Amino acid sequence: MDLGSIGGYVVESVLGTGAAGTVYLAHDSGRRVALKVSASGAPPTLVHPNIVPVYAHGTAQDGKHWLAMQYVADGDADRELRAGRMSPDRAAHIIADIARALDFAHQHGVVHGDVKPSNFLLAENDRALLADFGSRPFAAAGMVLTSAAYASPEMLRGHEVDGHADVYSLGCSLFRLLTGKPPFFDAESKDEVVHAHLYREPPQVTRFAPWLPSAMDDVIAAAMAKDPDARYPSAGALARAADAALPIKD
């Protein structure tokens, strides 16, 4: 089946599709890329070892925007979780890598807005890369950018958000990596998920992963505090707290 070409890249297959757009596997004369096509504009220029590199971007004939990114064949953290339980040490390692990417972005005035395990790409050399940055400065009021399962209260309320919203979503992601379930997974509808993020206390991770130390409950509670100013001051601070909460290996 001929899927045509976009921006000079020959499309091979569909890797995934969602509300944010469609991602294709494509190639030019030199390499394979992940080609994302969406309604949003060009991404910010962020170059960091834990951020998926963007090679090129442009506008297609239909007016949609495309960007060519590094193709990571090894999958993502969400896929790994669906294949089986993740060890706490591996979860902490992935969170630490993603935190480095987020801290770098926040220092450059960019909020990610869609922090979740399916955007944690697992590259060679045991390195996690954060994918799916959009053209998002610290987000304006009224923008709900992330998946409801990982969205901060202020984002769901339509307030202006900054890096604290990404810290909340990273805390939700840590919960998922440790338990295999997102916070408030027991909610029966999207509206109930939203209500839980707005009003329910953060769940205790040890209730679903009793092998973890109780200190990890405190980490999740701080990361998912309703008040942004009560959360960890940075993604890196959250990652360090999570690592410190784990038992010391012999």
Distance of CA 159 to the CA centre of its chain: 20
Q: Which of 76, 97, 103, 114 is catalytic?
A: 114
| Helices (H), ranges, 29-162 | 77-83, 88-107, 153-156
> Any residues with CB less than 8 A from the CB of 107 and at least 6 apart, and which?
none
Residue 157, classed as helix, strand or coil, is coil
The answer to whether 216 and 183 are in contact (CB under 8 A) is no
- Please answer whether residues 242 and 222 qualify as being in contact, where contact means their C-beta atoms are separated by less than 8 angstroms: no
Catalytic residue flag (residue 132): no
DSSP assignment of 214-242, as one string? THHHHHHHHHT-SSGGGS-SSHHHHHHHH
Active site residues: 114
